[in-house]
Amino acid sequence: MNKDLTEISELGEFGLIDRLTHEIKFKNPSTIKGVGDDCAVMHYDNTEVLVSTDLLVEGIHFDLTYVPLKHLGYKSAVVNFSDLYAMNAHPRQITVSLAISKRFAVEHIEELYSGIKLACDIYGVDLVGGDTTTSRSGLTISITCIGDAPKEKIVYRSGANVNDLICVSGDLGAAYMGLQLLEREKIVSNGQTEFQPQFQGKEYLIERQLKPEARKDIIKILEEKGIIPTSMIDVSDGLSSELLHICNQSKVGCRIYEDRIPIDYQTAVMAEEIGMNLVTAALNGGEDYELLFTIPLHLHDTIDKIEGIKIIGHITKEEYGCIMETRDGGEIGLKAQGWNPLSK
């Protein structure tokens, strides 16, 4: 490459996005929020419209050696729904666009769509359109999700305040451990046609990787309790990266506690088997699609009683940085070491 040009890997995904979009000026009064959050936000009569899109590329985001097409379809839809829930909104419609190589038959694509339609049925979302084209290699899936929310209920990444509590739903690291398990069994199989993978006792990890769920239930619980988070994001790239997104956009710092990070037993067992630090998996693994959010301190007792939500720390002043306090009282600075598709 010409030495005067910048390699994409030098900027990474978010650096590239910032480089391409930082000078964009809105031309239409209906545009409320563009690049920089989980969804765009547009204002029309009576409600706000939110739009999110995800692109999944074979060989980068999924491996059809061990990912069934129906599961892939389900996951590709759900990860888009998750972006809408991450802004306290409700997904209503999706469009699906595919680039398909000649090695796929009609029945293969029907299987993919069966997963997409199952996700739509479960989450009450309409599939309203899309596009298909040919691909010279592999499969590419692009899904755009459209949703809505009242203006006063939309939650951005930029609203966290000093002393807010940091909360997360579910548990972390399981999806990443599921990926490690699938990759391990792929290597062990070495192309054997009659190979039987060893998943006994680790079914939860496989499900978390192949069939994640968006946390519609958490949004419903918060709504029933009358709680509107001050900031929120879904955990797609790892807890550490997502916390840094909230802190950077809210101009605050944070302190979380290692012993409060929710981790499932199967995740811990798998981490020990492969010799990986358990907290590293939880901080940087990604694809959990849990909700990470902040709430005012006075709601501590209310949120603490809700099953499936864990308080893991609090928001601090920006100059204090983003810190995790370890079990032995030490301090570790949080770094964005999660999934980055444009890194080397």
Structure tokens at 6: 């910048």
Of 50, 53, 30, the closest CA to residue 92 belongs to: 50
Is 250 found in the same domain as 129? Answer: no
> What DSSP character marks residue 308?
T
CA angle 196–197–199, rounded 5-degree value: 130
Distance of CA 86 to the CA centre of its chain: 9
Report helix, strand or coil for 281: helix
CATH number of the CATH domain containing 72 = 3.30.1330.10
Angstrom distance (rounded) from CA 81 to CA 90: 8
- C-alpha 237/C-alpha 173 separation (Å) is 11
Residues 144, 201, single domain; the answer is no
Q: Determine the Cα–Cα distance for residues 129 and 70; give it in Å rounded to an integer.
A: 19
Q: What is the pLDDT of residues 110-121, one digit of tens each?
A: 889 899 999 998
User: Is 138 inside any structural domain?
Assistant: yes
Give me the number of domains the chain comprises: 2
State the pLDDT at residue 191: 64
159 within domain boundaries? no
Residue 180 lies in a domain: yes
Please give the Cα distance from 274 to 199 (Å, whole number). 14
Q: Output the CA torsion sign for 55, 146, 289, 166.
A: positive
Whether 263 and 189 map to the same domain: the answer is yes
Q: Which domain holds residue 224?
A: 165-333
Q: Is 7 a domain residue? A: no
- The helix or strand, by DSSP H or E, that contains position 149, with its residue range, turns out to be strand 139-149
Q: pLDDT tens-digit profile of 38-93?
A: 877 878 788 899 999 999 999 999 999 889 999 999 999 999 999 999 999 999 99
Same domain, 85 and 124: yes
Q: What is the pLDDT of residue 24?
A: 59
Q: Is the pLDDT of residue 215 over 70?
A: yes
Length of the chain: 344
Decide which of 109, 128, 153 is a domain's last residue: 153
Last residue of a domain, one of 108, 131, 153: 153
Same domain, 299 and 210: yes
Average pLDDT, the chain: 89
pLDDT(185) > 70: yes
What tens digit of pLDDT does each residue of 236-282 get? 999 999 999 999 999 999 999 999 999 999 999 999 999 999 999 99
Structure tokens at 147: 């949703």
Q: If 0-12 CB within 10 Å is exposed, 13-18 middle and 19+ buried, where does residue 81 land?
A: buried
The pLDDT confidence band at residue 206, using thresholds 50, 70 and 90, is very high
Query: What's the pLDDT band for 342 if we cut at 50, 70, 90?
Result: very low
**Contacts with 342 (C-beta within 8 Å, 6 or more apart), sequence order:** 8, 9, 11, 12, 13, 16
Contact 290, 242 (CB under 8 A): no
Q: How far apart, in whole angstroms, are the C-alpha atoms of residue 332 and residue 164?
A: 20
Token code pair at residue 165: 């509590």
The encoded tokens of residue 36 equal 């920089």
Query: Across residues 305-326, what is the average pLDDT?
Result: 97
What is 36-64 written as a DSSP string?
TBSSEEEEETTEEEEEEEEEEEBTTTB-T
Whether 140 and 175 share a structural domain: no
Q: Give me the pLDDT at residue 46, please.
A: 84
The position carrying tokens 């084209």 is 133
**Contacts (Cβ under 8 Å, ≥6 apart) of 48:** 32, 41, 42, 89, 148, 149, 150, 151, 154
Quote the pLDDT of residue 344: 52
Q: Are residues 254 and 319 in the same domain?
A: yes
- CATH number of the domain enclosing 295: 3.90.650.10
Same structural domain, 254 and 128: no
Query: Would residue 87 count as lying in a domain?
Result: yes
Torsion of CA 77, 83, 85, 90, to 10 degrees: -60
* Predicted pLDDT of residue 339: 47
pLDDT for 27 equals: 59
Is residue 314 included in any domain, yes or no?
Answer: yes
Indicate if 72 and 109 belong to the same structural domain. yes
pLDDT at 306: 96
Q: Are 182 and 68 in contact (CB under 8 A)?
A: no
Do residue 112 and residue 229 come from a single domain?
no
Residue 25 lies in a domain: no
338 pLDDT higher than 60: no
Q: Choose the final residue of a domain: 130, 153, 176.
A: 153
Same domain membership, residue 147 and residue 247: no
Q: Which of 77-91, 114-128, 225-239, 292-306 has the lowest mean pLDDT?
A: 114-128
If asked whether residues 112 and 226 sit together in one domain, one would say no
Calpha distance 251→225 (Å, rounded): 28
The pLDDT value given to residue 105: 86
pLDDT at 30: 64
Helical ranges in 195-336 per DSSP H: 203-210, 216-224, 239-250, 265-274, 278-284, 300-304
The answer to whether residue 10 sits within a structural domain is no
